[in-house]
Amino acid sequence: MHAMLPLLDTLRFPEIARGQLQALQVNLTYRCNQRCLHCHVNAGPTRTEAMTDESLALLLQVIDSHSVGTLDLTGGAPEMHPRFRELVSHARAEGLRVIDRCNLTILSEPGYEDLAGFLAGQGVEISASLPCYSRDNVDKQRGDGVFDASIIGLQKLNALGYGVEGSGLILNLVYNPQGPSLPPAQAQLEADYKVHLQEDFGIAFNHLLTITNLPIARFGSTLVSKGQFNSYMQLLRDSYRAENLEQVMCRDLLSVDWQGYLYDCDFNQMLDLPLELPLIGRERAHLRDLLQAQSLAGNPIITRDHCFACTAGQGSSCSGALKAQE
C-alpha cells in the first residue's frame, strides 16, 4: 500500500537534509539540437546560454580538490559546449566516473561525427534519452525523424562496444512518460525495451532508467494549457512513498548551472531555488564557495511541491527508479 498523505490544506513535503556529496551534475549549456515537449530545461537550438571559461576553470578546481566520484554532464546537449571534450578528458584523468546525458541525435550532427568515438575512448558512461521503442511515440514527443536518428546513434554506439557485455562501456536508456502519468515498473519496461530493440534493430543496452516528468518549465506549461496541472499534482501527492526519501538524488548530488551557481538538484535549478549555504554572506552559493566549504552534510535541502515527483510510486532520480520499487 502507498503511504497516504494528509489533506491538501496541511500538506507539505517533508524536511530533508544532505548526506555526503558524491556527484556533481553540471548543466553546461541550454543549447540543444532538439526541442522536446517534456524538457524541463526549455532547451533548444536558439538558446545561447553556456558555461563561461571562468566558471569552467572553477569547476576544474573543484574536481581536483574535492573527493567527488561522479561528474554528470547535462544540458541542453552538453556535447555542444565548445570545451566539453576538455572537461571530460580532465575529469577522466582525475579518475572520475563521467556520465554524458546524450540525446543520441547529436551523434549524427555535422561536426560531431567523431563524438561517439571520443566518448568510447574516454570510457564515458552514456545515459541516452529514448522515451519509447515506437517511432510514432518518440517523434511525437521529440520531433519528426528523431526516432530514426536515435536508432542510428545507438547502432553507432553498439559498434564501438557500448552496451555490449564485457566491454566496460555503459549505455543506459532513459524513459519519460508521454504525458501526465507515472512511469510503469522499471524492470518490466526494461525487459520490453530489450526485446523490441534487439528484435527490430539488433540494439543492445545495459539498463533502462525511468524518470517521472516534473510539473515545471515546458512540461508544466503544457499541463496548464491542457487543464491537467492540478490533477497531475494530485497524482504525485497521492502516490507519495515515504521510504523513497532516503534515496532521492539531492541527498548526495549537487547541481551546477551554466553560470557556476549551486542547487540541490537540476529541477530546483530550473525553478531558481538556489542551494542554501549558511555564512557565505550572499544569496547565491557558487562554485567558488564549494572550494572553501568543508562539507555539505546536514545542509537543509530546499523542497517544494514538485519534489513529490521524485517520491511518487517507485521513485525517480537521474539514475532511474529508486530502491522502493513497486
Q: Which helix (H) or strand (E) holds 102?
A: strand 97-102
71 lies in some domain? yes
34: pLDDT confidence band, cut at 50, 70 and 90?
Answer: low
Is the pLDDT assigned to residue 162 strictly greater than 90? Answer: yes
Instruction: With CA atoms as reference, report the closest residue to 51 among 21, 33, 76.
Output: 76
2 lies in some domain? no
Instruction: With CA atoms as reference, report the closest residue to 301 among 263, 246, 269.
Output: 263
Is the pLDDT assigned to residue 217 strictly greater than 50? Answer: yes
Which residues lie below 8 Å from residue 114, measured CB to CB, with a gap of 6+?
none
Cα separation, 11 vs 230, in Å, equals 14
Q: How far is CA 233 from CA 34, 180, 183, 244, 307, in A?
A: 27, 9, 15, 17, 10
156 lies in some domain? yes
Is the pLDDT assigned to residue 235 strictly greater than 70? Answer: yes
36 lies in some domain? yes
Report the pLDDT value the prediction gives residue 42, as an integer from 0 to 100.
65
Report the pLDDT value the prediction gives residue 229, as an integer from 0 to 100.
95
The CATH number linked to 17 is 3.20.20
Instruction: With CA atoms as reference, report the closest residue to 254 among 313, 301, 211, 216.
Output: 301
Count of domains observed in the chain: 1
321 lies in some domain? no
Cα separation, 16 vs 299, in Å, equals 9
Q: Is 245 helix (H, G, I), strand (E, B) or coil?
A: helix
Is the pLDDT assigned to residue 1 strictly greater than 60? Answer: no
Cα separation, 104 vs 100, in Å, equals 11
93 lies in some domain? yes
Q: How far is CA 85 from CA 70, 73, 168, 299, in A?
A: 16, 11, 20, 33
> What's the chain's average pLDDT?
89
Is the pLDDT assigned to residue 7 strictly greater than 70? Answer: no
Residue 284 grid cell: 547565491
263 lies in some domain? yes
286 lies in some domain? yes
Report the pLDDT value the prediction gives residue 110, as an integer from 0 to 100.
93
Domain of residue 130, residue span: 8-311
Of the candidate ranges 38-52, 162-176, 290-304, the one whose mean pLDDT is the lowest: 38-52
Name the burial class of residue 287, with classes exposed (0-12), middle (13-18) and buried (19+) by CB atoms within 10 angstroms of its CB: buried
